[in-house]
Chains A and B, each alone.
Chain A
Amino acid sequence: MKVLRNAKTCELHGECVMAAPEVFEIEDDKDVVTVINPEPSEELRKAVENAVLMCPTASLQLEG
């Protein structure tokens, strides 16, 4: 499972950080969300799927 984030559309809404804090983080002085765990383990699938669904700018994708 691989997480892709579109830096052109991300607007720091923070929904992904709420849904899957193990995978996403908003770092100081960054304009877009950081994927701290781009290949999360299978047990995080539901949380990551929820992050993808909730992203208001549809900036996240899940592969695999």
Chain B
Amino acid sequence: MTTAKPDVRVLDADTYANGDPATFGLPLDQYSYLRDEEPCYLYEFNDPMLIDQAWVVSRHADIWAVDRNSELYSAASGYVNMWKVTPLDPRVGGKPAMLTMDGEKHRAQRGVMSRAFTPRMVRQLEDKFRGYAVNIVDAALEKGTFNFVTDVGHTMPMEALGDVLGVPRSDRPQFFEWVDTFAAPFDTRITPSFEAVANAIFSLLNYSVELAELKRREPGDDVITQLAQAQDVISEDELMGNVALLASGAAESTRSALSHGMHELMRNPEQMAWLRERADNIPDSAIQEIVRIAAPFTHLVRTATSDHELHGKEIKEGDIVLMLFAAGNFDERVFDEPDTFNLARENNPHLSFGRGLHQCLGKHVASLEMKILLEELLKRTKDIKPAGDIQYVRDAYSRGVYQLPVTITAK
């Protein structure tokens, strides 16, 4: 199949800011072109804040293979995404975290945190999460019409991550304000300046050290306690980096997924009705379909460790290879009717959480948060409908929703 060549701007913030709500806010035609015609595409950025260039891989199978091959595609060069500078890059004053490590070092660090995120541990949080969901829906019903992103999408991940990490409740709003500021550095509605970004990162890193000291004195059943106590494996710098990583991975992404999901539910009344019928116990297929179309982080990058060829292109040692998850999630080589929002989708190996050893640590937490929040919302409302147009965050990495006005009616 040949597709007419579109202007390829799949990593341009304005592409996502001006996304078409009828195609999930995503440039699906450009993704399709890349997968079919240029499956290994050299993208030039031309922005001093971003890396110079990257090889964009967009097919599901290629992204899967790159993510699974950490020897050829290293995560340890410091780059996380298309940003030239990230808070996790020690070369530029950032702090190291497991996402920018390979091999044994990565395994040892992830091992300190992983037990808190297993399916069984996460299930134990269900009652607590349900309590948060009930409060969120209470407040939403009282308002009637509100911005779903801030009034519903924001609170759940904040409280849930606060519990898992062990951030005291009174500190959570401030903690997440810092995270929000550096999660969307290209949207001036959210972040007025790069100085604000730097300040937010600095404040969060310092706070994590204070919190670790508190946890050493008063240990809790939480991840920061585990990090603080694992001083043989995790240095203070690494503690700071890992807290920043967990916080930024959890806050914006879950809120984005919930918001994109709610937008699609309102666009597809038959899907909303299907879900409403199952509000007592929402099936995992529904959550994973929302995560597929949301693709909360469009991509991550790796660095080639040796010269090699991919789809006829010469990739050199040190070149950046960019896994465009959002494009892989709509690959018709893997997904039946990929452009259809189908909550009952059976075969759904989406890439939104990654598929290699850096796979999202919080995937079970995020899935449970979304399940419980949607259950409570659907059980207690008879109608949810748009009260205005969706607006997207201006960013090509973190695919946030800026505004989703809704009106809900109590049952």
Contact = CB atoms under 8 A, between A and B. Distances in A.
- Are A and B a genuine interacting pair, yes or no? yes
Interface of A: 9, 11-15, 17-18, 26, 31, 53-54, 56-58
Contacts of B359: 13, 15, 56
28 contacts: A9-B107, A11-B107, A11-B111, A11-B114, A12-B111, A12-B114, A12-B115, A12-B118, A14-B118, A14-B119, A14-B364, A15-B359, A17-B118, A18-B119, A18-B284, A26-B115, A26-B118, A26-B120, A31-B111, A54-B355, A56-B68, A56-B354, A56-B355, A56-B356, A56-B357, A56-B358, A56-B359, A57-B356
B349 A54 contact: yes
B385 interface: no
A12 B119 CA distance: 10
Contacts, number: 40
Contact of A58 (B68, B111, B115, B119): B68
Interface of B: 68, 107, 110-111, 114-115, 117-120, 284, 349, 354-359, 364
Contacts of A9: 107
A20 B359 CA distance: 19
B61 to A, nearest CB: 12
Nearest to B361: A13
A51 to B, nearest CB: 13
A17 B119 CA distance: 8
Nearest to A53: B349
Given A11-B111, A53-B349, A56-B356, 5 more contacts: A12-B115, A13-B114, A14-B364, A18-B119, A56-B358
A11 B357 contact: yes
B102 to A, nearest CB: 12
Contacts of B115: 12, 26
B107 A26 contact: no
Contacts of B118: 12, 14, 17, 26
Contacts of B119: 14, 17-18, 26
A57 B357 contact: yes
Contacts of B355: 54, 56
Contacts of A26: 115, 118-120
A26 B120 CA distance: 7
A61 B110 CA distance: 23
Contacts of A56: 68, 354-359
A13 B106 CA distance: 13
Nearest to B349: A54
B255 to A, nearest CB: 23
A31 B356 CA distance: 18
A18 B353 CA distance: 15
A14 B365 CA distance: 12
A11 B110 contact: yes
Contacts of B356: 56-57
A53 B114 CA distance: 20
Contacts of B114: 11-13
A8 to B, nearest CB: 9
A58 B355 CA distance: 10
Nearest to B120: A26
B205 to A, nearest CB: 25
A11 B70 CA distance: 15
Contacts of B284: 18
